[in-house]
Amino acid sequence: MKGFTDRLSRIYGQSLSLYPRNFRAEFADEARDVFNLGLKEAAGDGFWGLACFALRELYDLPLVLLTLYARERKKSAMQKKLDQWFVHAPGSWPEWLLASLPFLVLFLFPGVFSFSRVERNIPDPLGLALLGAMILFLALLGIVGLLVRLPRWAMPYAGVLICLAVFLVLMLVGVYDLFFPGQVSLPWWLRMVSFELIFLFALVVALILVIWLARRVTLTSLFFEQVQSDWSQLSFAMYGAAMVFILGMYEDIPGAGLYILITVIPLLLGVWMFLHFQDMQRRMVVLTVAITLAVGIALLANLQPLDWVSPVMFTIGDLEITRSVFSIILTWLMCEAMLFIPILMQYIPFTRQAQKQIG
């Protein structure tokens, strides 16, 4: 047994070389003493006690290393430059510009191309390259937001990432293929409603997981504290995700550039007012109204005469509800639900307990 404990002690001593240099210089001896003390106590429970102790240390190692290196990065000169460029006063125009860039990029470029009919002359490979460049640019800004500990302007980027991750998981496990084109014998409208309810449930699970992880990683600790003090911050992240769903409403409408350009106006105003208002209720009203106005513009675009006719889903008196109109209304309800999910999450026992610990 002593040979086994000595071997574990040597392995831990070698693993200290993975830690940042400054940490090793200051705390290597102390960390080794603490480990040996825990090892001695675990040895009292025999071989299985030592094995469980070693597995716990191995399980915690990646998170400990990530936390320590995040602290080192914060102290570096590059971190200071990032803070100077990307950390701005609340309500300032640089903060608004950084928060608005996803909306500007994803709406202005397609809108201008469609409005000027330039997209008809763009080859498919070049169009894909331009789309990839826009996504890469926004992804890089999202990474920068993570490095500066997710300030408010980075919330829309985080929301897009979270919702894309949820959608990809649903596709990988076959949920999307189950409803579209439809392996289940249900009406189209019921399949769409079912999928969006499943998506919202998966989104709740993903947000709980994000909050749980944010508590334990130094790099996202500021984000966790911001959310716990004001849950509308997470609603702002969902506002960014709703932007993608609203843009998708123009998928089957050729030449809708003018509508796309107009749609971004209420969304940008929503960003500006959210960053300036301090009251959570006013912020939620602003986000709700902005999404409703943007969806209303998309609905008007879908009601214009097109070369194809959308199938009629329902008839209310003389009013015919087509598939495209029904899809837009349902997507609007889903976007509004995404905004209020974070507000309701504060009443989950897990998040309430975490909030008490902060207080």
- Could you report the per-residue pLDDT of 299-342, keeping only the tens digit for each? 888 877 555 556 666 666 666 677 788 889 999 999 999 999 98
Average pLDDT, the chain: 80
Same domain, 291 and 265: yes
Same domain, 51 and 100: no
Residue 19 confidence (pLDDT) above 70:
yes
Residue 357 confidence (pLDDT) above 50:
no
Same domain, 103 and 47: no
Name which of 280, 293, 279, 266 is nearest 342 in CA terms. 280
Q: Which domain holds residue 37?
A: 2-75
Question: What is the rounded CA–CA span in Å between residue 157 and residue 147?
Answer: 13
Name which of 136, 135, 134, 157 is nearest 86 in CA terms. 157
Question: What is the rounded CA–CA span in Å between residue 323 and residue 311?
Answer: 6
Residue 39 confidence (pLDDT) above 60:
yes
Helix axes 93-115, 257-276, angle to 10 degrees: 170
Same domain, 20 and 111: no
pLDDT at 337: 95
Show the 3-state SS of 290-326. HHHHHHHHHHHHHCCCCCCCCCEEEEECCEEEEHHHH
Which position has the higher pLDDT, 50 or 193? 193
Radius of gyration from C-alpha coordinates of the chain: 25
Same domain, 63 and 197: no
Give the pLDDT band (50/70/90) at residue 147: confident
What distances in angstroms separate CA 20 from CA 59, 68, 72, 132, 296, one per listed residue?
Answer: 19, 7, 7, 35, 53
What distances in angstroms separate CA 166 from CA 31, 100, 159, 210, 231, one per listed residue?
Answer: 39, 23, 11, 12, 20
What percent of the chain clears pLDDT 70, i.e. is strictly above it? Answer: 81
Per-residue pLDDT tens over the stretch 76-101: 666 677 777 888 888 899 999 999 99
pTM above 0.85, yes or no: no
pLDDT at 79: 66
Which position has the higher pLDDT, 80 or 238? 238
Give the pLDDT band (50/70/90) at residue 148: confident
Q: Across the strands, what pairs with 319?
A: 316
What distances in angstroms separate CA 254 from CA 11, 203, 250, 332, one per listed residue?
Answer: 64, 31, 8, 21
Same domain, 70 and 106: no
Residue 268 confidence (pLDDT) above 90:
yes
Domain end position, chosen among 30, 50, 75: 75
Which position has the higher pLDDT, 79 or 233? 233
pLDDT at 358: 43
Question: What is the rounded CA–CA span in Å between residue 227 and residue 157?
Answer: 15
Per-residue pLDDT tens over the stretch 197-221: 999 999 999 988 888 887 776 666 6
What's the domain count of the chain? 2
Is 83 buried (19+), middle (13-18) or exposed (0-12) by CB count in 10 A? middle
- Whether the CB-CB separation of 234 and 345 falls below 8 Å is answered with yes
Cis status, amide bond into 254, omega within 30 of 0: no
Amino acid at 319: L
User: Quick check: is 323 in a domain?
Assistant: yes
Domain end position, chosen among 28, 52, 75: 75
